[in-house]
């Protein structure tokens, strides 16, 4: 199985009170690429892209958040932007673009879970996926992030403004 090696600086937005837990998995039992409390970490290569990624989940009465910098030391991933890799894996990248919340509201399993489960089954540490609203923006979801570490650097959220 061929993987894309991903390493570098990434960003995750967490409640300020959870800054020391930035490497903990997503707290919700299900999300775009996880279900049944599967351990999952969602990160973005740019702070503003991380802001876009969580915008629909942020509410006015939420606790203050902070943008945390992480270093990924190397992750073997399925890159859903790479048609050749997807074909070799038998992966239908279009599943990643299906809005998962409406499916869950109908009591259905999210289509996005199928692509994530395939990547997990094939031993990937995670996947690169694009934003539905802007395909040039991409994010990384990790199922195994042993090579990740918090750098200790943070930025205000929203970026450029402190709460």
Q: Which residue ranges make up each domain of the chain?
A: 4-156
CATH assignment, 4-156:
3.90.175
Cα–Cα dist 41/160, whole Å: 24
The backbone region for 104, taken as left when phi is positive above 0, alpha when psi lies in -120 to 50, beta otherwise, is alpha
**Percent residues over pLDDT 90 in the chain:** 88
Q: Does the model's pTM come out above 0.85?
A: yes
Position 158 confidence tier, pLDDT thresholds 50, 70, 90: confident
What pLDDT is recorded for position 163?
41
Residues 141 and 116 sit within 8 Å (Cβ to Cβ): yes
Beta strands in 51-111 (DSSP E): 65-79
Chain-centre distance for alpha carbon 124: 14
Phi and psi (nearest 5°) for 103? -65, -45
Average pLDDT over residues 46-58: 91
What pLDDT is recorded for position 58?
86
**Percent residues over pLDDT 70 in the chain:** 97
Residue 160 has pLDDT above 90, yes or no: no
What pLDDT is recorded for position 132?
87
Position 142 confidence tier, pLDDT thresholds 50, 70, 90: very high
> Average pLDDT of the chain?
94
Cα–Cα dist 114/131, whole Å: 18
Q: What is the pLDDT of residues 70-124, one digit of tens each?
A: 999 999 999 999 999 999 999 999 999 999 999 999 999 999 999 999 999 999 9
Question: CB within 8 A of 147, min separation 6: which ones?
Answer: 7, 72, 73, 74, 75, 125
Average pLDDT over residues 22-28: 96
């Amino acid at each position: 199985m061929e993987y894309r090696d991903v390493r570098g600086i990434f960003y995750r937005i967490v409640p300020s009170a959870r800054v020391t837990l930035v490497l903990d998995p997503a707290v919700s039992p299900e999300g775009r690429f996880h279900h049944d409390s599967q351990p999952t970490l969602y990160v973005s290569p740019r702070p503003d892209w991380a802001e876009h990624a969580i915008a629909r989940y942020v509410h006015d009465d939420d606790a203050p958040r902070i943008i945390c910098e992480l270093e990924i030391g190397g992750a073997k991933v399925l890159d859903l932007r790479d048609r050749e890799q997807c074909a070799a894996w038998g992966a239908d990248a279009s599943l990643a673009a299906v809005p998962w919340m409406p499916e869950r509201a109908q009591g259905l399993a999210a289509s996005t879970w199928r692509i994530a489960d395939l990547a997990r089954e094939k031993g990937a540490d995670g996947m690169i996926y694009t934003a539905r609203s802007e395909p040039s923006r991409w994010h990384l979801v990790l199922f195994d992030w042993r090579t990740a570490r918090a750098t200790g650097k943070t930025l205000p959220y929203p970026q450029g403004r402190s709460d």
